[in-house]
């Protein structure tokens, strides 16, 4: 029953599919050739663009005003790319050099908005893919936010608090001149949680001498929103709940497999448990745990402390609760009803998708950004299971970031219940938009729905704003 898939196999970035040679798809091939030529060496970016272009190009054929104004070509070109040196000093007084980035992708419907990722795999192509996805996701939330993303190849693992602070201060010393509450509002992502946002905010305030909502994901004491830490994971489960409801089902009694054990995974697990599901697996980059009896709330609290405070490895859960730990592998070979990939991009390939289907999985919602390879998505769509792509399913995080911006601008604070209610209704609305644009005969293609639903608002705003 357990998977034999190696981590290295699933980590591999899949090459974008070669489109078949029908008339309509020939256009896709030509379009993608140009994108590939312009963005050589950025496979994740090319993959993200292709996934969107597959649904947008045929739509533009039917709506020539977008085609004439070359809206998709424009959306694929970042408005601005910033790349900078980050020098800092470690605890041994040695100089360290990292590379910092901010991609300001699209500001048609609001200030650039999107997280910062600190991870050794960060490079220009990865951040461009994330910024591109963010444009559509932010549009889907119904809130006025453009798309951006940033980060660094800095690895926070094993660093002391002092080293993290030193890095964050140096990173913000450059970034601060490019961002602002009405210009560009970063947030967290992989490797950037509450601690990092605190250090980044402190440095921004010190240099600019202003207390503004320039970052989201802040602590409650200095302008954060309640429910922001929970929002991405909760939102993913709210979205999956809506998908299940279209087939007359609920989470009650379902078996759920989750990858990752960071921010998104923790709160996705929490909401699944609250909805009566049994979560049997979580993971980190060293492997996954399989707890047949189910991860209960107290056990989840252990994971939260392990990951957010003592910063240990997931294997310690297996040692503590006497369950299985499978090193170096992903949990997609486990029997389950629902799979929530919540770790990183391209972590679930076609082989894993087939294993999930074979084992009875009927619902997949992406908590992470682009965790399923294009081939895996093809398997899910071919089998007509419920598949919620990240730009819709994980939009709850940025939605509550948008609510944090509103609270900062209004200088007031909403209760947890108020924010959670707004989050729920945003996820329901995103689901409704996906159904509106993605409904096919007896099936909702959520990929198509999310792409078209996200595109139209941005495209109309770009048309109205002229040659920008």
Q: Which residues are catalytic?
A: 149
Separation of alpha carbons 201 and 205, rounded Å: 6
Residue 163 or 404 having the CB closest to ligand NDP: 404
Residues 374-403 touching ligand NDP, rule: CB under 6 A, are 394, 397
Q: How far is the CB of 98 from ligand NDP (least distance, A)?
A: 17
**Which one of 26-34, 50-58, 240-248, 342-350 is the stretch in contact with ligand NDP (CB under 6 A)?**
342-350
Specify the residue for token string 């965790």: 371
Residues 229-258 touching ligand NDP, rule: CB under 6 A, are 232
Residues 183-202 touching ligand NDP, rule: CB under 6 A, are 188-191
Select the residue interacting with ligand NDP from 260, 333, 388, 453 (CB under 6 A): 260
Select the residue interacting with ligand NDP from 200, 268, 364, 368 (CB under 6 A): 368
Residue 260 or 449 having the CB closest to ligand NDP: 260
Separation of alpha carbons 366 and 389, rounded Å: 5
Contact between residue 99 and residue 126 where contact means Cβ atoms under 8 Å apart: no
343 forms part of the interface with ligand NDP (CB under 6 A): yes
| Helix ranges restricted to H, 64-193 | 64-68, 71-75, 124-140, 161-175
Burial class (CB in 10 A: 0-12, 13-18, 19+), 23: exposed
Contact between residue 125 and residue 159 where contact means Cβ atoms under 8 Å apart: no
**Which one of 260-268, 318-326, 402-410, 456-464 is the stretch in contact with ligand NDP (CB under 6 A)?**
260-268
Nearest to 142 by CA among 393, 353, 457: 457
Separation of alpha carbons 129 and 45, rounded Å: 4
Which residue, judged by CB position, is nearest to ligand NDP in the bound state?
262
* Helix H or strand E encompassing 410: helix 396-410
**Which one of 47-55, 96-104, 320-328, 361-369 is the stretch in contact with ligand NDP (CB under 6 A)?**
361-369
**Which one of 249-257, 337-345, 354-362, 438-446 is the stretch in contact with ligand NDP (CB under 6 A)?**
337-345
Q: How far is the CB of 253 from ligand NDP (least distance, A)?
A: 26
SS3 114: strand
Q: How far is the CB of 248 from ligand NDP (least distance, A)?
A: 29
DSSP string, 175-240: HTTT-BTTTEEEE-BTTB-HHHHHHHHHHHHHHH------SSS--GGGT--TTHHHHHHHHHHHHH
Residues 90-149 touching ligand NDP, rule: CB under 6 A, are none
Applying CB under 6 A, the residues found at the interface with ligand NDP are 188-191, 232, 260-265, 284-286, 342-344, 347, 367-369, 394, 397
């Amino acid at each position: 029953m357990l998977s034999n898939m190696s981590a290295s196999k699933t980590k591999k970035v899949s090459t974008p599919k070669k489109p078949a040679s029908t008339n309509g798809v020939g256009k896709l091939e030509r379009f993608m050739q140009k994108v590939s030529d312009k963005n050589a060496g950025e496979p994740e970016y090319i993959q993200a663009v292709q996934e969107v272009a597959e649904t947008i190009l045929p739509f533009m054929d039917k709506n020539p005003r977008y085609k004439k104004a070359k809206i998709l070509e424009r959306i694929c070109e970042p408005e601005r790319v910033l790349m900078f040196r980050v020098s800092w000093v470690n605890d041994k007084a040695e100089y360290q050099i990292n590379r910092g980035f901010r991609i300001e992708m699209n500001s048609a419907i609001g200030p650039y908005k999107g997280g910062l990722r600190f991870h050794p795999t960060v490079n220009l192509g990865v951040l461009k893919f994330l910024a591109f996805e963010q444009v559509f996701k932010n549009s889907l939330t119904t809130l006025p936010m453009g798309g951006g993303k940033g980060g660094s190849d800095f690895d926070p693992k094993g660093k002391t608090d002092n080293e993290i602070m030193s890095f964050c201060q140096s990173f913000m010393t450059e970034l601060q001149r490019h961002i602002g509450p009405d210009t560009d509002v970063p947030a967290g992502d992989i490797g950037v949680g509450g601690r990092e946002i605190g250090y980044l905010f402190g440095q921004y305030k010190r240099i600019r001498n202003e207390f503004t909502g320039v970052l989201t994901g802040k602590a409650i004491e200095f302008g954060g929103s309640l429910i922001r830490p929970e929002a991405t994971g909760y939102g993913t489960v709210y979205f999956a709940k809506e998908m299940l409801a279209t087939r007359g089902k609920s989470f009650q009694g379902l078996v759920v497999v989750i990858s990752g054990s960071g921010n998104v995974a923790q709160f996705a697990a929490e909401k699944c448990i609250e909805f009566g599901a049994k979560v049997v697996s979580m993971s980190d980059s060293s492997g996954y745990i399989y707890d047949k009896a189910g991860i209960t709330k107290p056990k989840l609290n252990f994971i939260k402390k392990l990951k957010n405070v003592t910063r240990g490895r997931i294997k310690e859960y297996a040692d503590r609760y006497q369950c299985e730990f499978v090193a170096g592998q992903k949990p997609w070979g486990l029997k389950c009803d629902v799979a929530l990939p919540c770790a990183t991009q391209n972590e679930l390939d076609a082989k894993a998708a087939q294993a999930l289907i074979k084992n009875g999985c009927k619902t997949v919602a992406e908590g992470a950004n682009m965790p399923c390879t294009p081939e895996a998505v093809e398997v899910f769509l071919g089998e007509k299971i419920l598949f919620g792509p990240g730009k819709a399913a994980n939009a709850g995080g940025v939605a509550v970031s948008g609510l944090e911006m509103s609270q900062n601008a209004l200088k007031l604070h909403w209760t947890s219940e108020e924010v959670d209610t707004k989050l729920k209704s945003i996820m329901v609305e995103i689901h409704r938009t996906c159904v509106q644009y993605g409904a096919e005969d007896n099936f909702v293609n959520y990929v198509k729905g999310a792409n078209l639903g996200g595109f139209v608002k941005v495209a109309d705003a770009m048309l109205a704003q002229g040659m920008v």
